[in-house]
Amino acid sequence: MLREIIARLKQGHRTMAYPKEPVQLPERFRGYPEFPARVERADGEACAAACPHGAITCDGGIALDTGLCLFCPECTAGEYVRFTTDHRLAATRREHLLVRSGGEHQLARPLEPRLRSLLGRSLKFREVSAGGCNACEADTNVLSTIGWDLGRFGIQFVASPRHADGLWVTGPVTENMREALLMTWEAIPGPKIVVACGACAIGGGPFAGSPEARDGVDGILPVDLYIPGCPPHPAAILDGLLRLVGKIEGE
Amino acid sequence: MNDIFRTLHNGSAIPFDEVPRLEVTAFLQAIIDATDRGWRVSSYFGIPTESGATLCCVLSSKADGLIGMAAADVAGSFPSIARLVPQLQLFEREIAEQCGIPAEEHPWFKPVRFHHSFVPGRDAWGRNPGDPILPGVMEFYRVEGEEVHEVAVGPEHAGIIEPGHFRFQCHGEEVFHLEISLGYQHRGIEQGLVGGPDPRTPFRMETIAGDTTIGHMHAHCMAMEALSGTRVPARAEALRGIALELERLANHTGDLGAIAGDVGYLPTASFCGRIRGDFLNMTAVLCGSRFGRGLVRPGGVLFDLGEAERDDLLARLDAARADLENAVELLWSTPSVMSRLENTGAVSADTARELGLVGPAARACGLNRDVRHDYPYGIFRMAQIPVITTHHGDVCARTTVRWLEAGKSLDFIRDQLRQLPGGGCRNEPGPLQGNRVAVAMTEGWRGEICHVAITDDAGRFLRYKVTDPSFHNWAGLAMALRGEQISDFPLCNKSFNLSYCGFDL
């Protein structure tokens, strides 16, 4: 027992102060996009055509769909798009993931008042990996470690859908997981919410267009929170969650 | 053996017509003879043809440090030799499922991933081509008798875990037999690669198994570089090696914590959960992504490492080493932990050899196999990492191997950071040459990863075969459970920590 106590003293208290203090992100982290240079239409259309994920469009001005974007370092839009280290990528509506040059940064919004009063202080999720590569799963799991300590916000991942208030989906929804996903959804008592975590769950990610998968959970279940990224950084996930339950507001 | 198989080195390409096309009986006999002499089957797959398939077998010979290849054409069906070479049983089922031709007299002939075959209308099990194929719908092995009962778990499990179905045949608490049925994560990766590569290929390679982004991407890049004749700068090779070992460290640390958690020992579980993140964050220092997304590309790496980042990494590495030692040493000095790890889920060396286990699971049974050492590639041709083996084959041995390997990886990364070669980080790869085959193997943290790429006349993929280490190792977990208490399943499972998505492709 003494050894454990000494080890505990050496390891120290390591839960981060976030959201009271800013989260530490690597310098090379690729987060919320911005458009430093003006794009001529022809250039914009060339970028749009070159993006292998179909994340860039040029209809009027260049726009990037963070739901489809995999945040590649070799972005085909080159100098026209810069990924900042802003981790606040989550949004509550699908169209808010479309980032336009000069447009407003749409952050995730709180649940409607009735749901917020019901779930705001105790929110339990049942996670279903529906074809995920285990990266979204891993960085969701990481929130429950002592560094992030998700429990301090009243948010938890639970073993049974019967104990859950919401469904947490990762992966593009493979044909072989569709039925299990829907059964889990059915088993969660209402009112209930859905989180699409990661590029796959939002739009199919790297597997978009595969005949063995469904290009995400949109159209199968009603989504309340979209968290872009391949995989999303834990800070992006936590930002979305805390905004959803109203524990972070404004900038 | 070398006169039957066409041999090549890891990470090289040869004209596909130099791979001997044998008559099927001679082909199978050659595989039987080679495995009898200690060669391993690294990959065995079919290229669908109008009447059947061209079977290709990739064997590896540790003694020679060489890879051997042979092929045979079959029509309608192909003979199974899984009774003689058990390590082939899953490969044969995979060939049957993908090419739509049955494996005759296969002792355990069941679907692998539950999808329609690559050839529309052809099915090895005679299922109606118009009907959907439902996962987990197959005949499970059953034990019958008084007091024998069956426990079915999954596809979904209690935590944030990938899906898979486990069927236990139990007598009281004792497990007689465990059958594992997967395929839930099947995303159609191999079929989607036919006619490739295309601009999306690197992203699919990085997400074959997200926790092995570097391991798989490195193998893919080696295949692409071999097919295009691209030389990789020394600095890029060193950075790839650093990223690969960081990936191993993150996952081994996570596993050490998870094993501690599964025996209810929370200090190590909590500490390692956090320290794992420290290693992931070091990968993010390299390339901005905790999983190494966007770092490795054909021709080299996309990110160089500056002086400041190098010093930052060295400091982080020292801190993480101290924390990890402090956390893990607790396990070995806590009798209640050791009594749970020792003699639990043992796999014998013979079983491991017959099943063709790889990675830490094999090394824990005393089998000295490690791609970095046996078929050196990239930086490992210049800097060797000692191979760790233990010999009890139980949970404790698999835990020990991970811990000792973590130490070797820490040493390796420190040495590499201190002596990074100068020069550039990437050479632009040229087009792929046509009618060639490349074989690339890397040692991911779970073990041997094998990518085989075959190009057509135009240099497009005729077939791209991916073999994740989990493909070899799931059978090892099933064997580890024999005679164990069913309540030890989570612990045994964690000690293997295999990939569902890497298996399901």
Q: Write the pLDDT tens digit of every residue in B108-151.
A: 999 999 999 999 999 999 999 889 999 999 999 999 998 999 99
Same domain, B109 and B196: no
**pLDDT at position A225 over 80:** yes
Examine the pLDDT at A37 and tell me if it is beyond 80: no
The angle at the Cα of B31, spanning B503 to B120, to the nearest 5 degrees, equals: 50
**B200: domain range?**
189-504
In a domain, A190, yes or no: yes
Question: Last residue of a domain, which of B123, B142, B160?
Answer: B123
Which residue, A142, A107, A48, is CA-closest to B160?
A142
Sign of the four-CA dihedral B414, A9, A139, B447: positive
What band does A77 get if pLDDT is binned at 50, 70 and 90?
confident
Nearest 5°: the CA angle B495, B106, B464 is 65
Query: Do B251 and B385 sit in the same domain of this protein?
Result: yes
Per-residue pLDDT, B1: 59
Q: Which residues of B touch A147 (CB under 8 A)?
A: 273-274, 277
Average pLDDT, stretch A207-232?
95
How confident is residue A48, by pLDDT bands cut at 50, 70 and 90? confident
Distance of alpha carbon B20 from alpha carbon B47, whole angstroms: 15
Residues B199, B111 within the same domain: no
Q: Does B129 fall in a domain? A: no
Shared domain check, B303 and B402: yes
Nearest CA in chain A to B324: A11
Kindly tell me if the per-residue pLDDT of B470 is higher than 90. yes
Q: Name residue B443's beta-bridge partners.
A: B448
Tell me the C-alpha distance between B469 and B215, whole Å.
11
Of A2 and A61, the one with more pLDDT? A2
Residue A99's alpha-carbon distances to A6, A36, A79, A91, A198, in angstroms, are: 50, 13, 16, 11, 17
* Contacts for B29 with CB less than 8 Å, ≥ 6 apart: none
Residues of A (13-72) whose Cβ lies below 8 Å from B: 14, 26-30, 50, 52-53, 70-72
By Cβ distance, the residue of A7, A71, A135 closest to B267 is A7
- Taking CB atoms and an 8 Å limit, are A135 and B213 in contact across chains? yes
The answer to whether residue A183 sits within a structural domain is yes
CA distances, B171 to each of B149, B151, B478, B480 (Å): 6, 11, 16, 16
Question: A160 by DSSP, 3-state: which?
Answer: coil
Alpha helices, DSSP H, located in chain A: 2-11, 41-50, 113-119, 135-141, 175-187, 199-203, 234-244
Averaged pLDDT for residues B21-34: 96
CATH of the domain at B198: 1.10.645.10
Q: What is the DSSP string of B391-407?
A: SS-SHHHHHHHHHHHHH
Phi first, then psi, for residue B296 (nearest 5°) are -95, 130
CB A143 within 8 A of CB A238: yes
Q: Same structural domain for residues B361 and B461?
A: yes
Report the CATH number at residue A118.
Answer: 3.40.50.12280
In a domain? residue B156: no
In a domain, B180, yes or no: no
Closest CA to A200 of A240, A167, A232, A233: A232
| Nearest of A177, A173, A175, A185 to residue A224 by alpha carbon | A185
Q: CA B439, CA B59: separation in Å to the nearest integer?
A: 11
B259 and B369 co-located in one domain: yes
Q: Are A73 and B213 an interchain contact pair (Cβ–Cβ within 8 Å)?
A: no
- Given a contact cutoff of 8 angstroms between Cβ atoms, the answer to whether A161 and A187 are in contact is yes
> Tell me, what's the pLDDT at B431?
96
Q: What are φ and ψ of residue B264, in 5° steps?
A: 75, 25
d(CA B377, CA B244): 12
Looking up tokens 């797959």 gives B45
Mean pLDDT, residues B319-339 taken together: 96
Q: Which of B498, B303, B317 is nearest to B417 (CA)?
A: B317
Q: Does A103 score more than 90 pLDDT?
A: no
Which pLDDT belongs to residue A101?
84
Instruction: Let me know if residue B155 belongs to a domain.
Output: no
What residue of A is the nearest CA neighbor of B285?
A: A26
Q: What is the mean pLDDT of chain B?
A: 96
Among B residues 313-342, those touching chain A with beta carbons less than 8 Å apart? 323, 326-327, 330, 333-334
Domain boundary, last residue among B123, B148, B179: B123
* Structural domain includes residue A199: yes
- Kindly state the tokens that stand for B288: 């901005």
Q: For residues A9 and A59, what is the distance between their CA atoms, to the nearest angstrom?
A: 58
In a domain, A1, yes or no: no
Structural domain count, chain A: 1
Pairing of strands A193-197, A166-170: parallel
Beta carbons of B115 and A176 less than 8 Å apart: yes
- pLDDT category at A185 given cuts 50, 70, 90 is very high
Chain A residues whose CB is inside 8 A of the B204 CB are 206-207
The pairs formed by B480-484 with CB atoms below 8 angstroms and a separation of 24 or more are B480/B345, B480/B346, B480/B347, B481/B168, B481/B175, B481/B178, B481/B345, B482/B175, B482/B176, B482/B177, B482/B178, B483/B174, B483/B175, B483/B176, B484/B174, B484/B175, B484/B344, B484/B345
> For the residues A66-89, what does the mean pLDDT come to?
91
Within an 8 Å CB–CB cutoff, is residue A163 touching chain B?
A: no
Q: Tell if the CB–CB gap between B273 and A210 is shorter than 8 Å.
A: no
A172 DSSP 8-state letter = S
CB-CB contact of A215 with A208 (8 Å): yes
Question: Could you identify the residue written with the tokens 């053996």?
Answer: B1
B402 lies in a domain?
yes
B138 assigned to some structural domain: no
Is residue A82 a part of any domain in this protein? no
Buried b (16+ CB within 10 A) or exposed e, B363-372: bbbbbebbbb
Average confidence (pLDDT) over B10-15: 97
Average pLDDT, chain A: 93
pLDDT in tens, B258-270: 999 999 999 999 9
Query: Closest Cα partner for B282 from B255, B232, B328, B321?
Result: B321
- Give ipTM to 2 decimals: 0.95
Please compute, for residue B477, the number of CA atoms within 13 A of its CA located in the half-sphere on the CB side.
25
Residue A240's domain comprises: 113-244
Single out the residue in B80, B103, B123 at which a domain terminates.
B123
- Do B305 and B210 lie in a common domain? yes
Q: Please say whether the beta carbons of B122 and B101 come within 8 A.
A: yes
Distance CA B136, CA B112 (A): 9
Residue A20 lies in a domain: no
**CB within 8 Å of B323: residues ≥ 6 apart:** A10, A11, B271, B275, B278
The mean pLDDT value for B225-243 works out to 97
Peptide bond into B120 cis (omega under 30): no
Q: Is the pLDDT of residue A61 over 90?
A: no
Q: What is the pLDDT of residue B2?
A: 65
Tell whether B396 is covered by a domain.
yes
Beta strand pairing status for B66-75 and B21-22? parallel
Residue A45 pLDDT grade (very low, low, confident, very high; cuts 50, 70, 90): confident
Please report, for residues A230, B146, B177, B278, B483, the alpha-carbon distance to residue B143 in angstroms, rounded to integers and kept in the order given.
Answer: 44, 10, 8, 46, 14
Residue A74, in any domain of the structure: no
First-to-final CA distance of chain A: 45
Enumerate residues 274 to 313 of chain B having a beta carbon within 8 A of any beta carbon in chain A. 274, 276-277, 280-281, 284-291, 293-294, 297, 302-303
B342-398 pLDDT, tens digit per residue, is 999 999 999 999 999 999 999 999 999 999 999 999 999 999 999 999 999 999 999
pLDDT digits (tens, 9 = 90+) for B65-99: 999 999 999 999 999 999 999 999 999 999 999 99
